[in-house]
Amino acid sequence: MDQLRASGLVTDYRVLDAMAEVPRSEFVPPAHRGAAYDDVALPIGHDQTISQPLVVALMTQALELQPTDRVLEVGTGSGYQAAVLRQLADHVDTVERIPALAEQAAEMLEELGVDRVSVHTGDGTLGWPDEAPYDAVVVTAGGPEVPPPLLAQLADGGRLVAPVGPRHAQELVRVRRHGDRTVSEDLGPVAFVPLLGEAGWPAA
């Protein structure tokens, strides 16, 4: 995690500590474990990736998590970011559209003893309304807009962080809810795999 500290971009020591606690190597396929702690995205199968550590840290920092927060993650992937989020929040619901990835992530989280993370299979662009509202929502794939169902599941005072824009280049956006009003701010350019689903990009 030295590269995260050296970047000067991750200023929340709690996020740095959380990243240090979660072994990224356990969430990376064996063929790529030699690069597990490099600051790069790595393939995890099914045309998906595990995001580079700096991006995970910046998105987590932008959520401004508190120990009592309930978090919704859209796009479980390997389960790595869910494990990081759980270090900082009370409970994480994470939704993955690819059943095989959801199963692998759930198994790894259980193996590592990460509790209070519920892995669901489904269309993450629709959120997980059964457990809403959420204090924080994070989307780990890029969509053409912030999915309206996710905004609807955001609690008053809640924060949502998502990549928004064209398929191959997005802007990281943070949205805060203040009653019936939302306020958005841009946090910088990013590039994520497409957010597929009813409120995202159509699946090919």
List, as one string, the DSSP characters of 158-202.
EEEEEEESSTT-EEEEEEEEETTEEEEEEEEEE---B-BSTTSBP
Q: Answer whether 189's CB lies under 8 Å from 170's CB.
A: yes
Among the listed residues 51, 78, 118, 184, the single catalytic one is 51
Is 25 noted as a catalytic residue in this protein? no
Q: What span, in angstroms and rounded, lies between the C-alpha atoms of 61 and 82?
A: 14
**Which spans in 29-129 are helix H?**
53-62, 80-88, 99-111
- Paired tokens of 37: 């702690």
Active site residues: 51
